[in-house]
């Protein structure tokens, strides 16, 4: 990796790591106060958010000096992220029918909020 690519990749992956940490902490709190089943549902929702962000990061972290190419890379990454998020939600609902839907969505929302908050801080 070149120095410019590393300078882009480091904060991008730091955001994903922070998002993962918040997803784990939130799901642990839910498990502690609302029950283990609800905690796993929150963890599943958080995992969906983290998976989408990680794919986004992997696409964007390559970096580009060309502004048009960088914009295309971000647009493509966002489309892939949305696609993966939708697919993972469908799979979660089909494969884990015992998941608490509310906590699945709340886990996703909290983790996504953490993502946006972390972006503001980086």
Q: How far is CA 19 from the centre of its chain?
A: 7
pTM here is 0.88
- Percent of the chain having pLDDT more than 90? 63
Distance (Å) of CA 86 to CA 25, 40, 110: 24, 19, 17
Tens of pLDDT, residue by residue over 23-82, are 999 999 999 999 999 999 999 999 999 999 999 999 988 777 778 888 898 899 999 999
């Amino acid at each position: 990796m070149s120095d410019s690519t590393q300078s882009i990749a480091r904060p991008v992956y730091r955001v994903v790591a922070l998002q993962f940490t918040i997803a784990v902490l939130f799901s642990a709190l839910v498990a502690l106060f609302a029950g283990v089943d609800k905690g796993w549902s929150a963890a599943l929702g958080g995992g969906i958010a983290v998976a989408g962000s990680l794919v986004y990061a992997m696409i964007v972290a390559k970096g580009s000096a060309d502004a048009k190419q960088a914009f295309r890379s971000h647009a493509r990454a966002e489309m892939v992220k949305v696609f993966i998020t939708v697919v993972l939600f469908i799979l979660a609902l089909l494969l884990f029918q015992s998941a608490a839907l509310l906590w699945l969505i709340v886990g996703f929302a909290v983790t996504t909020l953490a993502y946006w908050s972390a972006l503001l801080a980086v």
